[in-house]
Structure 1
Amino acid sequence: DKSISLSFKIRLMRYLVTSIFLYACESWTLRAELQRRIQAMEMRCYRKILHISYKHHVTNEKVRAKIQQAIGPQEDLLTIVKRRKLQWYGHISRSSGLVKTILQGTVKGGRRHGGQRKRWEDNIREWTGLEFGKSPRAVENTEKWRKLVAKSSVVPQRPSRLRD
């Protein structure tokens, strides 16, 4: 185990674990709880690779810095999920078929009473700033859509906590 380099372990995790983890992520509705769980799973993997226990009181920022030092900058899982979802939406919106009809179709009736749960299309609206009904127009220009996806999928890092 010690003969395997840290860089190799991290790359292996990125190629194997990440590819399995991201299976069908385009269909997920990213609520706040799921976003926290994605980030926690990623950090758990990094801490396992680096042999850093939570008992050692090492911040996530320091763990990320060690990972970047070992293999350079890379996208976090949440950014990858958002980018893939936006790319898939663009791909489907430019096509013509059953998937597009289902994606853009509506069901008769209203939404339930009480606090509304986030829907799949709410993610698209939130990240791009475009209304879901108007976004198929924006998707038609592939180059502009790619730029919008690159800008919209970036996940802002949480500010480090201030301690007294």
Structure 2
Amino acid sequence: MTGVLCDRRINIKVKGRVYKTVVRPALKYGAETWPIKRVQEKKLDEVEVKMLRWMCRVAKMDRIKNERIRGTTKVVELSKKAQERRLQWYGHVMRRDETCRKEGDADGGAWWESKRKTKAKVDGCS
């Protein structure tokens, strides 16, 4: 992968696409379940900016802002993407709980609570 990201003949936008499809998924693997703190989010963003600067051959001494580098490569902050994945995962879990409720359950408990009480299998939930 470094052969593509380090090659001077390849356009920066193409490098950005390669970064988004290969490197970023490896960085944020399982991010929807991470109990991440602000300090850790900041470190992830710092690592990403270092990689983008390395890919674009821009040093800190060049005094080019991170937003400009993100704009040329068209890459959004990793912490924002991780938050988006967490929200998508949360919505998925909430929808699953709604669809897996036992029909006629008066207290509106989740499927595992009704299963524990009645020892009956709930259809549609695996």
TM-score by length of 1: 0.51
> Structure 2 CA distance, aligned partners of 1:90 and 1:5?
37
Partner of residue 9 from structure 1, selected from 11, 15, 26: 15
- Runs of 4+ in structure 1 deviating by more than 6 angstroms, as ranges, are none
Structure 2 counterpart of 1:58: 64
The percent of aligned pairs where both chains have the same amino acid is 23
Quick one: which amino acid aligns to residue 49 of structure 2? M
Take 1:52 and 1:33, find their aligned partners in 2: how far apart are those partners?
A: 25
3-state secondary structure, aligned to 2:22? helix
The aligned residue for residue 31 of structure 1 is 37
Decide which structure has the larger Cα Rg and report it.
2
- Counterpart amino acid of residue 8 in structure 1: V
The amino acid of 1:89's aligned partner reads Y
5+ residue gaps, structure 1: 69-73, 103-164
**How do 1:99-138 residues align onto structure 2 when only pairs under 5 Å count?**
none
Supply the distance in 2 between the matched residues of 1:48 and 1:35 (Cα, whole angstroms): 20
Unmatched 5+ stretches in structure 2: 1-6, 101-109, 113-126
Task: Normalising by structure 2, report the TM-score.
Answer: 0.64
Between the two proteins, the alignment pairs up a number of residues equal to 95
Instruction: State the Cα RMSD in Å.
Output: 2.3
